[in-house]
Amino acid sequence: MLLDTDTAQVVSLSAAGVAVLSLGFSASLLVRIRRLTLAHDVLTGGDRGATFVESVTRQHREVEGLRTDVGRLRDDLAAARADLSDALRHVAVVRYDAFGDMGGRLSFSAALLDDAGDGIVLTSINGRSETRTYAKGVKAGDSDHSLSPEEQQAIGYANRTAVQPREGFEPEPKRGRFSRRS
């Protein structure tokens, strides 16, 4: 049975239309499959041979390992902070001329304290013929021994309860407390 030409044209145009629609539908499916493949790769971490469940299990183990590492790092940081608070890291030096006639401000008091204000203050008094050095323990910014004004000043600078002047901009040294009065 032969088809007339009009019917054959309609059938061929319909087939061509169905083919174009099928091609468009196939292209959209390919785009969706590509997106799903990319999303699957993201979820599985790029391991194409693994199933989704295997990938999630592996990632869960890795996250647990990271949590363990973070816990260890947190403990290490706490220990480092405790060690740092005990370190003698607050340091200040006050230089002065103890005898007024020496010049050069060769005497000094140096405070070395930790975060709690505990530590030591060292004082060296330089004279023409001798030098004396003293060490006094400091607890919470104070000492069992009497402190000179320079030692108190060094402790204040180290504890940051007083502002230490910049070197070279200090006031003229006063006559020392050990100088002889004429």
pTM of the predicted protein model: 0.55
Structural domain span for residue 29: 11-84
* Candidate ranges 6-15, 94-103, 164-173; pick with highest mean pLDDT: 6-15
> What does the pLDDT read at residue 32?
96
Q: Does a structural domain hold residue 38?
A: yes
Higher pLDDT among residues 171 and 127, named by residue: 127
d(CA 98, CA 86): 32
What is the DSSP secondary structure assignment for residue 157, as one 8-state letter?
A: H
Q: Are residues 29 and 94 in the same domain?
A: no
Q: Is the pLDDT score of 67 beyond 70?
A: yes
Region 30-39: mean pLDDT is 91
Q: Is the pLDDT score of 48 beyond 90?
A: no
Least confident of 5-9, 30-34, 52-56, 91-95: 52-56
% of the chain surpassing 90 pLDDT: 53
d(CA 85, CA 40): 50
Cα atoms found within 13 Å of the Cα of residue 167, Cβ hemisphere only: 5
The region that residue 105 occupies, defined by phi over 0 for left and psi between -120 and 50 for alpha, beta otherwise, is: left
Q: Are residues 152 and 103 in the same domain?
A: yes
Q: Where are the beta strands (DSSP E) in 34-165?
A: 90-96, 107-113, 119-126, 131-138
Q: Is the pLDDT score of 182 beyond 50?
A: no
Q: Does a structural domain hold residue 45?
A: yes
- Number of folded domains in the chain? 2
- DSSP 3-state of 10: helix
Q: Does a structural domain hold residue 165?
A: no
Least confident of 4-8, 97-101, 122-126, 138-142: 97-101
Higher pLDDT among residues 170 and 167, named by residue: 167
Q: Does a structural domain hold residue 55?
A: yes
